[in-house]
Amino acid sequence: MDEIKNDIAQGEAFDPLPNRSLRENFFAKAKNLLGIESKPAQFIFAGLLGLVALVATLSFFLSPPALFAPGTTIVVEDGSSLGQVSLLLKQQNLIRSRVLFEFCAITLGGDKRVIAGEYLFKDPAGSCEIASRIVHGISGVPAVRVTIPEGTSNREMAVILGKALPKFDTAAFLASSREDEGYLFPDTYFFSKNATVADVEALMKENFQKKIKPLSASIAASGHTLHDIVIMASILEKEVATDEDRAIVSGILWKRIELSMPLQVDATFAYLLDKKSSEITQADLNIASPYNTYRNKGLPAGPISNPGLSALRAAITPMVTPYLYYLSDKNGVTHYATTFNEHKANKEKYL
C-alpha cells in the first residue's frame, strides 16, 4: 500500500467524494433518505460505502493512465526482473501503480517470471492486461513471414533471412550454423522482426526434429544412419527437381556407393565453390576436398543443403532401377542410362 500512497501523493489519487463538507452532507442525506438511524445499520452502510470506494480506487489504479500513448513499444531485456519491468512501465506512463501491476503479474503468471522481448501496445490497456501479456510473452508485434525453400543451403538461407529481418546478423548465422547444415528444416516461419540468430536456429532445428520423428522407423529399416540420409537428401535436392526423379537418382547413387564407384555429382562442387554447375571447370574437379565426389568414393563430408520431406523420403526409400547414370538437360529434364556408352550418347544428344 505504500506504493499506492506514493501515487496518491503524486496526484494520481481518486476520491469519489473529495470535499469534506460534501461528504458529510452526502452521508446525512443518505441516512435520512434510507432511514438509517441505528448504529449497526450505519456501520453496515459505512462499510458498503467503504467497499465501493475501495473498488473504485482499485479500478482507477488498474485502468490506463491518461498519458498512455497508443502505439507505445517497450523492450523487456533478457534477465529483467519484475520490479525492473514495472519501473519501466511506470516511467513510460503505461501503468498507474507498480504494486498493483506486480500483483497482477504474480497472480496471472504464478511467479515473478517475465518474458523478454519487444511489446507493442496499439491501444491503452489496463495493468492486468499488460501483466498478462508480459508473463505470457504476447508481444503484439506483427510477425515477419519468411519462406525457406526446400534444398536451400545455409549460405542461401542467410541471404533470405538477412533481407527479411532488419537486425539479423548473417555473418553470425553462418558461423554458428556451420555444423547444422542439413538440419535447419526448410519451411514457412513467422519470426519477430527482432529475432536473433539463436531464435531462428532453435526454431528451425526444433522443426527438423518434429518432421523427422515420423520417419525414424523407416530410417532404421533403410540400414543407413540419419546423417547419411540427410547428406543424400541434400544432394537429391540440388541434383533433380521432381519426386520421381529424386527416388530414381537416390537408387542410382546408393547403388554407386555399393559398387565402390565415385558419386560424381556436380552439386557438391556448387556448394564447395559457390558456383553454378555450368561454371565448374576440369580444374575444379581435381580439387582435394572431402566434398569432391569425383576423386573420393562414398558420400561427401556433410550435407550440402537443407532437404525437405520429399528428398528425405527419397533418400530413405530409393527406387530400384537398372540405371547407373543420369544427366539433366538445359530444360531440367533428367535422362537415364544403364551403361556408360548410353550415358555418353545422352551427353551428345542432350547437352
pLDDT in tens, the chain (351 residues): 555 555 544 544 444 445 556 555 655 665 555 555 556 655 665 566 566 666 666 677 678 888 999 999 999 998 899 999 999 999 999 998 898 899 889 988 766 678 888 899 999 998 889 999 999 888 888 889 999 999 999 999 999 999 999 889 999 999 999 999 999 999 999 998 888 899 999 999 999 999 999 999 999 999 999 999 999 999 999 999 999 999 999 999 999 999 999 999 999 998 998 877 778 888 888 899 999 999 999 999 999 999 999 999 999 999 999 999 999 998 889 999 999 999 999 999 998
**pLDDT given at position 141:** 83
Q: Which three cell numbers stand for residue 294?
A: 569425383
Q: Is 146 helix (H, G, I), strand (E, B) or coil?
A: strand
**pLDDT given at position 33:** 55
**pLDDT given at position 8:** 47
**pLDDT tens digit sequence for 243-266:** 999 999 999 999 999 999 999 999
Contact 170, 150 (CB under 8 A): no
Burial of 200 (0-12, 13-18, 19+ CB in 10 A): buried
**pLDDT given at position 13:** 46
Amino acid sitting at position 288? A
3-state secondary structure 39-81: HHHHHHHHHHHHHHHHHHHHHHHHCCCCCCCCCEEEEECCCCC
Q: What's the CA gap between 72 and 139, in Å, rounded?
A: 12
DSSP 334: E
Q: What's the CA gap between 267 and 273, in Å, rounded?
A: 10
**pLDDT given at position 195:** 86
Q: What's the CA gap between 96 and 107, in Å, rounded?
A: 18
Q: Which three cell numbers stand for residue 125?
A: 490497456
Give the CA count within 13 Å in the CB-facing half-sphere of 136. Answer: 11
> Which domains are seen in the chain, by residue range?
2-62 (no CATH), 72-136 (3.30.1490.480), 144-212 (3.30.1490), 214-350 (no CATH)
Q: What's the CA gap between 338 and 124, in Å, rounded?
A: 72
Helix (H) or strand (E) holding 327: strand 325-328
pTM score, two decimals? 0.71
Q: What's the CA gap between 40 and 52, in Å, rounded?
A: 18
Q: What's the CA gap between 53 and 14, in Å, rounded?
A: 9
DSSP 144: E
Rg (CA), the chain: 34
Q: Which of 173, 171, 202 is nearest to 189 (CA)?
A: 202
Q: What's the CA gap between 64 and 67, in Å, rounded?
A: 8
**pLDDT given at position 138:** 87
Helix then strand then coil, % of the chain, to nearest 5: 55, 10, 35
Q: Which residues contact 27 (CB under 8 A, 6 or more apart)?
A: none
Q: Which residues contact 343 (CB under 8 A, 6 or more apart)?
A: 325, 327, 337
